[in-house]
Amino acid sequence: MKLRGTAGGLNLLIEPLDTPDGVTAMLESRAALLTENVEIELGGVISGIVLETTLTHIARAGGKVSSVRPPREANTDLTSSTTEVVPRTMRAGMRIEKPGNVIVLGDVNPGAELIAGGDIIVSGTLRGIAHAGVSGRESAIIYAQHIAAPQVRIAHAMARAPEGSGLESLRVAAPSDVAEIARLEAGQIVIEPYKP
C-alpha cells in the first residue's frame, strides 16, 4: 500500500500483495491523514477483505472515500476476479450483475438487486436483494454498514426475512454502530458485527 498527499486530500494505492494485517498496520499508524477525502486506487486484482479493511479504517478515522479507481488495463489482466465499483447509491429497479467482487459507494435501496461472483461490499445500508458467490463460492461475504435486506444469498444458500421485516433472526448479536458481515457457517447464513 502506498499513500500520497494530493490537493484534494489523500491518494491510497492498494496493491495485489497487500494483506489485511499490513493494511491495518499502515493505516493505524497514519490515521490522522485519513480524516479528509481519500481517493482509492486499485493496483490490480484486490482481495475483498483488504478493501473492506481499508474502508473500515477510513470510516473510523472520519474520512470520506471520494472515488475508487479500477486497475489500469495496461498494468493488469482484467479477469473475472476483478473488483467493480458502483460509485453511487443503487435505486429501486437497478440490477447489477458482475463476475467478480462488487463495491457500492452508497446504499442499496429496496427494489435494487446486486449479484456478484465474489464478495459484495456496501459502504452504506443494504436494503435490496444481494447474492454473493453466485458461481458457488462459499467463502464469499456480504459486508455493509447495516444489513436490512429482505433476502441475501451466498453461493447456494439463501436467507429470506419474514414478510414485512429484515433479517433480524440471523444476527449473532444485537445491531450496533459497527458494520455487519454475512457469511456462510455450516451451510447457514449468519450476520454478525464485523471485527477487522
Contact (Cβ atoms closer than 8 angstroms) between residue 170 and residue 153: no
At residue 173, does pLDDT exceed 50? no
Beta-bridged to residue 144, according to DSSP, are: 122, 180
Q: Which residues contact 167 (CB under 8 A, 6 or more apart)?
A: 147, 148, 149, 150, 152, 159, 161, 191
pLDDT per residue as tens digits for the range 12-51: 888 888 898 999 999 998 888 888 888 888 877 777 788 8
Sequence-distant (6+) residues with CB within 8 A of 64 are 36, 37, 38, 58
pLDDT-derived band at 128 (thresholds 50, 70, 90) equals: very high
Pick the CATH number of 2-75 from 3.40.220, 3.30.750, 3.30.420, 1.10.3470: 3.30.750
Domain residue extents for the chain: 2-75, 83-193
Q: Are 93 and 111 in contact (CB under 8 A)?
A: yes
**Per-residue model confidence (pLDDT) at position 196:** 60
Contact 135, 153 (CB under 8 A): no
CATH class (in words) of the domain with range 83-193: mainly beta
